[in-house]
Structure 1
Amino acid sequence: MFHTIKAKLIIAFVLCITIPIALISSVVYLDMKRQIQQDFLAANTKEVAQVDNGVSIYFNSIRENVLMLANSALLKRTDASIKSYKNETGTVKINALANGGLEAELAQEFKRYIQAHPNTSSLFIGTELSGYTQYPEKDMSSHYDPRDRPWYTEAMKEPGKAVITAPYILSGTDTIAVSIVTQLRDMSGKAVGVFGIDTNLLNLTEVLKEMKIGETGYVMMISAEGTVLANPQYPDMISKNVKDLDNKTLAQLSEMSTGQLDVVMENQNYLTNVYTSPKTGWKYISFIEQRELNSSIDHIFFLILIMSAVLGVIALVASIILAGKFSKPITTLIGNMQEIGEGNLTNEVPSHLLQRKDELGTLANSLQSMQLSIKYLISEIVSASKKLVASSEQVSAHVESNIVAIDKIAENVKEVASGADNQLMRTEESAKGMEEMALGIQRIAESTSSIAEFSLDTTQEAENGNNTVQHAVQQMSNIGVSVEHSLSVVKVLQDRSNEIVKIVDMITDISSQTNLLALNASIEAARAGEHGRGFAVVADEVRKLAEQSSESAGKIASLINEVHGETNRAMESMNDVNHSVSNGVQMVQDSGEAFQRILQQIKNITEQIHDNSAISEEMSAASEEIASSVDETAHIAKLSADYMQNVSVSSESQVTAMMALQGSSEELRQISQELTSLIDRFRV
């Protein structure tokens, strides 16, 4: 289903619309989420800063009270009359009123202050002489010396300032408190001790509890040392150090001076904001659930999803309509290309597609041009194939004729060779006879009658030799005629081979043009992309057909070249044979003339034997000349036999070449038939 162009276009159109919508929606959602978080953090930081400012104002008022009381006339009277508990053992209760004097006055003043400031836990004085008093009164531990206390040393380090100590747990309670202390001087300005006020931080929890951080948010306060000062959500953490709570999240937050962090506490995702007071160093850590923070944009995101779904449906409907308009012409062209791929070239491309001015119109016109080109190409190939079949049959007929003629030549050559062998044998016999005749001439002086008899024998042998030589002359003439006929046949064969080469060249040119057309068709198919796939299949089939034709033409050309080479060699061999036969004919004619002279001389000798013995000596000389001529004749006969053997071998080679040429012609005919069968699948 998704392999069709229509489906792909629909998917492409839908994705082109839905992906931007999804991206825009995601960007808007994430940006709104980031903006809401930033707004929350900014508002929360501002609100916490206001709370911290209120706490600072609260502690500043206590500082002012501490400094005011420390500069009062009553506290400047601090002296050695204040009781010391340094040397006391066991638990001793402070009883300022019972001690009387300055301590009683201080207790009354402290009492009035506490009544006016209910959050105050106590007021106290520690002196340079280890004296100590406070209100409300409490039990003192053994050997208590205020000078060893951190609050005392901190105040003495910063004279004239009210110092806030680190939070601590009030003795005997779970209440966390801080001390605001300052150096105490007498009327002369001499440091006589430290005055301080203890104030609990219970009201901080109430203040932070009243801070609304959404529906689920809250704020906790941690001191610079990590002690939990206030936590309305988990009050049991108050006064405990975060390091002792085994809570890595809080420990991590307590290490931050400022910033935001996403944390998970009790299976809930929280966004936290850390604010550190620039005056006290205490940390305000705000918590709000991510679920609550994102609830305002979840509704917007839901609306965006609905709008995206609606737009997606609209895009789907529009893409189906548009894809149908694009895919229908392509489907029609694909049907045409499939018909062409199956060999049917009769279907025409619809005219309304040819009249289009867009890419589909270009594709339709290209398909129409390709179809016409293929029709023309198929017609040319059919014509060339028919010519090729006719030429192959003609070549085959000529080859068969040549084979028959060469066979006859071979038979004649064999007969000539046999005659040459007989001539050689006769010549050798003549040579032997001449030797005997020479012996006889030498004995002419001894016996005239014997010479006469030998002369008669010699005359008879000479006549036989003359007949043999004349026969050899006739045979050599016949050989010359046969060789000239074979030479003309080979010449005709050579001309036919040249004509076949031209035909093969024409086939090769047609194959090259076919291959070029197939290449152009493949390029047009590649330009058409997916639409040209069927076009590409047809072009590939045509290209394969052209390659097969080219390969077949190459094979034919190779075979014809081999036959042409064999023909040339046969031509050269036949020329050599013709030349040798001409020489042989001349030699045999010379031998015949020599035998005529020999015969005449023998007759003369025979007539003159009875006349004079002196003539015997002349006969002896003549016999030697005759012997030499006979030897020469024997040599000529041997050469003739050798030439005939060469002619016989050349004839056999020519027969072999003609057989190879006949096989090539048959193969050419088969290739032509295969080409015809391949073309028959096309309907033009």
Structure 2
Amino acid sequence: MKKKKRISFKAKLLVYSLLLSIIPIIIISFFLNSEVRNTTQKSYTESSKKEINQVDNAISLYFDTIHENAKLLATNPLVKGADKSIKSYMTVKGVDSGQSVNMTPSKNGKKEKGIFDVFSNFGASHPNAAYVYMGTADGGYIQYPEGPTTAGFDPRERPWYKTAIENPGKVNMTSAYAANGSDSIIVSNVVTIEENGQQKGVLGLDVDLNGLTGIIKDIKIGKNGYVILAQDDGTILADPKNAKLNFQPISKLNVPELKNLKKDSSIEAKLNGKEYVFTTISSKIKGWNYISVVEKSEFLASAQHITNILLIVGAIIAVLAVLVSFFMSTKITRDIKKLSALSVSMSEGDLTQQVTIKSNDEIGETGENFNKMAQNLKEMITRVADGSQQLSATSEELAASSEENLKASSQIAESIQSVASGTDEQNAEMNNAVDIMKEVLVNVEGVTSSMENVRHSIHQSAETASHGSQVVNQTVQQMAEIDQNVASSAEKINELKEKSNEISQISLMIQSISEQTNLLALNAAIEAARAGEQGKGFAVVADEVRKLAEQSSQSASQISDIITDIQKGINESMEMVDKGSDSTKEGLVLVNKSGAAFQDINDSVRKVTENIAQASGSMEKMKASIEEVFTHFEKVFKTSIGVNEHSQNVAASSEEMSASMNEVSSAAQELAKMALELEEVISQFKL
């Protein structure tokens, strides 16, 4: 058979150690890499939020300034003093509705010109102010800078006017719009003009957001990340990477996932063929949102760096684990080889070898156990060797003894055979004696039968005399029984009298106890009355006890009366019993005399009967003796037959024992042979 290829314990230990070191490193690296990526992404997100929040704070501050300027303009006395003199473009003479018409506030009335000058001065000092305008409650309209409008223009119907009216007293920022004839994006800031609690119109300050693109462009997220400013409706207000997308819907970015992007959340999507992470951050300015755009590779770069470090550390740990495992496996396998060599020696029968292992671990303990096992085997085999020698000697003795027993059993069988022959002759003689005893027994039975007839005739005469005597005896016995019954009745009546006396004494005692209980209950009621309210319950109990005592006394008195009547009846019964006893004794004397006369007659007949009975008894005894002798002869005959049968059985058993002894002798010889073989096997061990 082809020998199975084995893998060394050392190789297995190295493989297991390598797996135990590499697998945890791989698992830890996987989780750490995932955690590092998440942490890096969170770090980028937090960093983006911080920087965007700083920019948002600056933009919010910028718009706060614009809002303050709008409020300041709305509270200007000239603006608040606007009236119906402000020109309205709802109807223009000579111009049809919808046609273009130039606005000339600088040339109109004094009030309108004054307001226009205020707007003009403000616009000159604030370059980002694209338009400064106002619409009055009467439909008048002033705008800086001057420009064309359309006939039929009613500021009160414009969204910016309605927004301000719906939210009076505060500046409202409208959605951005594109300026006519330019790429500028304008945002309107409108506020109501109020005087003495009345709304006189709405003032608007439109700001150009072109400068906002520069601010957004300065925001850096990582190395190449940037920020897009968009409205809630998805309109891009500023895209520093592509200005052509300004005031375009966000769908122009060709990133469908942005449609599902919620506020203050992140998604991963492709942009221009690269993986990006988009994160929205809400602005303090209502309706605006910042979208940070960062390449995913920037997140992964730092995570990959940490992963590389982990791989290097893991490789170093794996190498160290292999070296340590190699050292430990070499040390362990050296001791295991010693144990293996010892086991080989033991398998070859050499029990003199011992192993020396200095380590204080399971292998060292196993070495000690191997040494103990070798020593125990040595001692056990030594004892087996001694036992095998004794077994050999004993088996030889057993063989010799079995041969002697075989000879003795043969002699016993011959003797038993002789006994069996003698018992056969004895059985024949006993059979003749039994026949003779049978004839004698038949003759005795004939004599006994004749004597029985005589005894029967005399017995009839005796029965007649005996009958009269029996009648007298029965009368005597009945009179005696009557006398005994009368005496017994007298004793029972005396006992009844004594018991009634005892009951009378007990009744007197109950009366005495009842009187004492009544007295105690009376005393208790007095003490309860002294105790007042607290003794009321006890007084009730005492009263009940007193009532029970009185009832007990009455019952005892009734019992005493009944006992007195019973005692009277008992005394009368005693007198009658005494009279009956005397009469019975007199009758008994007369009957005894009659019995004596019949007894004399019966005695005479009995004597004759006894003589006949003695003769008959003698014959019966003779018959019984003969039967007993006959029985003994039969028993002896049967015993002789049994002895003969047992002798034959013993002879057969002796033959069987001889055969068994032959088998024992053969077994003893076989046992001696096995003992020799065992000695040969034991001799193979080196002790």
Scaled by the length of structure 1, the TM-score of the pair is 0.58
Deviation by residue 1:452-480 (Cα, 9 ceiling, x = unmatched): xxxxxxxxxxxxxxxxxxxxxxxxxxxxx
Matches within 5 A, 1:338-417: 338-340=344-346, 342-346=347-351, 348-349=353-354, 353=356, 363-392=366-395, 394-395=397-398, 398-399=401-402, 401-402=404-405, 405-406=408-409, 409-410=412-413, 412-414=415-417, 416-417=419-420
Q: Does 1:53 align with 2:61?
A: no
Letter in 2 for 1:261: S
| Partner of residue 130, structure 1 | 139
| Partner of residue 221, structure 2 | 213
Change (3 A) 1:150 1:365: same
| Partner of residue 153, structure 1 | 162
2:299 equivalent among 289, 293, 300: 293
SS in structure 2 of the partner of residue 641 of structure 1: helix
Change (3 A) 1:72 1:676: same
| Partner of residue 76, structure 1 | 80
Are the counterparts in 2 of residues 229 and 239 from structure 1 also a CA contact under 8 Å? Answer: yes
Matches within 5 A, 1:195-594: 195-224=203-232, 227-233=235-241, 238-239=246-247, 249-256=257-264, 261=266, 263-266=268-271, 268-280=274-286, 282-296=288-302, 298-299=304-305, 301-303=307-309, 305-306=311-312, 308-310=314-316, 312-340=318-346, 342-346=347-351, 348-349=353-354, 353=356, 363-392=366-395, 394-395=397-398, 398-399=401-402, 401-402=404-405, 405-406=408-409, 409-410=412-413, 412-414=415-417, 416-429=419-432
Letter in 2 for 1:212: K
Deviation by residue 1:584-613 (Cα, 9 ceiling, x = unmatched): xxxxxxxxxxxxxxxxxxxxxxxxxxxxxx
Q: 1:380 deviation in Å?
A: 0.7
SS in structure 1 of the partner of residue 262 of structure 2: helix
Q: 1:194 deviation in Å?
A: 0.3
SS in structure 2 of the partner of residue 285 of structure 1: strand
Letter in 2 for 1:381: V
Q: 1:219 deviation in Å?
A: 1.0
Change (3 A) 1:34 1:408: same
Aligned counterparts of 1:208 and 1:151: Cα–Cα separation in 2:
26
Tell me whether 226-235 or 366-375 shows the greater mean CA deviation.
226-235
Q: 1:126 deviation in Å?
A: 2.2
SS in structure 2 of the partner of residue 348 of structure 1: coil
Are the counterparts in 1 of residues 105 and 116 from structure 2 also a CA contact under 8 Å? Answer: no
Deviation by residue 1:407-451 (Cα, 9 ceiling, x = unmatched): 654565455345433432344356558989999xxxxxxxxxxxx
Change (3 A) 1:239 1:396: farther
Scaled by the length of structure 2, the TM-score of the pair is 0.58
Q: 1:148 deviation in Å?
A: 4.4
SS in structure 2 of the partner of residue 379 of structure 1: helix
Q: 1:681 deviation in Å?
A: 6.3
Q: 1:98 deviation in Å?
A: 8.8
| Partner of residue 97, structure 1 | 104
SS in structure 2 of the partner of residue 254 of structure 1: coil
Are the counterparts in 1 of residues 261 and 267 from structure 2 also a CA contact under 8 Å? Answer: no
Are the counterparts in 1 of residues 228 and 240 from structure 2 also a CA contact under 8 Å? Answer: yes
Letter in 1 for 2:298: E
| Partner of residue 6, structure 1 | 10
Aligned counterparts of 1:251 and 1:300: Cα–Cα separation in 2:
34
Letter in 1 for 2:204: G
Matches within 5 A, 1:570-649: 635-649=635-649
Q: 1:335 deviation in Å?
A: 1.7
Change (3 A) 1:681 1:659: farther
SS in structure 2 of the partner of residue 178 of structure 1: strand
Q: 1:374 deviation in Å?
A: 1.0
Are the counterparts in 2 of residues 420 and 637 from structure 1 also a CA contact under 8 Å? Answer: no
Deviation by residue 1:324-369 (Cα, 9 ceiling, x = unmatched): 23321321222212332x242245235xx36777765554444333
Q: 1:286 deviation in Å?
A: 1.7
SS in structure 1 of the partner of residue 138 of structure 2: coil
Letter in 1 for 2:240: P
Mind listing any 5+ residue stretches in structure 2 that lack a counterpart? 443-624
Deviation by residue 1:459-508 (Cα, 9 ceiling, x = unmatched): xxxxxxxxxxxxxxxxxxxxxxxxxxxxxxxxxxxxxxxxxxxxxxxxxx
Are the counterparts in 2 of residues 122 and 136 from structure 1 also a CA contact under 8 Å? Answer: no
Letter in 2 for 1:348: Q
| Partner of residue 666, structure 1 | 667
Aligned counterparts of 1:59 and 1:360: Cα–Cα separation in 2:
83
- Let me know the Cα RMSD of the aligned residues: 5.0
Are the counterparts in 2 of residues 345 and 375 from structure 1 also a CA contact under 8 Å? Answer: no
Are the counterparts in 2 of residues 208 and 232 from structure 1 also a CA contact under 8 Å? Answer: yes
2:172 equivalent among 163, 166, 181: 163
Are the counterparts in 2 of residues 414 and 644 from structure 1 also a CA contact under 8 Å? Answer: no
SS in structure 1 of the partner of residue 104 of structure 2: helix
Q: 1:206 deviation in Å?
A: 3.7
**Higher radius of gyration, 1 or 2:** 2
Aligned counterparts of 1:409 and 1:43: Cα–Cα separation in 2:
122
Q: 1:106 deviation in Å?
A: 6.0
Q: 1:270 deviation in Å?
A: 4.0
SS in structure 2 of the partner of residue 153 of structure 1: helix
Letter in 2 for 1:344: G
Aligned counterparts of 2:425 and 2:242: Cα–Cα separation in 1:
143
Change (3 A) 1:189 1:683: same
Q: 1:646 deviation in Å?
A: 3.2
Tell me whether 299-308 or 649-658 shows the greater mean CA deviation.
649-658
Q: 1:376 deviation in Å?
A: 1.3
Mind listing any 5+ residue stretches in structure 1 that lack a counterpart? 440-624
Aligned counterparts of 2:182 and 2:235: Cα–Cα separation in 1:
16
Aligned counterparts of 1:122 and 1:167: Cα–Cα separation in 2:
13
1:63 equivalent among 67, 84, 109: 67
Aligned counterparts of 2:640 and 2:32: Cα–Cα separation in 1:
114
Q: 1:96 deviation in Å?
A: 1.4
Letter in 2 for 1:666: A
SS in structure 2 of the partner of residue 283 of structure 1: strand
Letter in 1 for 2:645: Q
Are the counterparts in 1 of residues 269 and 278 from structure 2 also a CA contact under 8 Å? Answer: no
Number of positions where the alignment pairs a residue of Structure 1 with one of Structure 2: 494
Letter in 1 for 2:87: I
Are the counterparts in 2 of residues 25 and 304 from structure 1 also a CA contact under 8 Å? Answer: yes
Change (3 A) 1:190 1:7: same
Q: 1:303 deviation in Å?
A: 4.8
Letter in 2 for 1:93: S
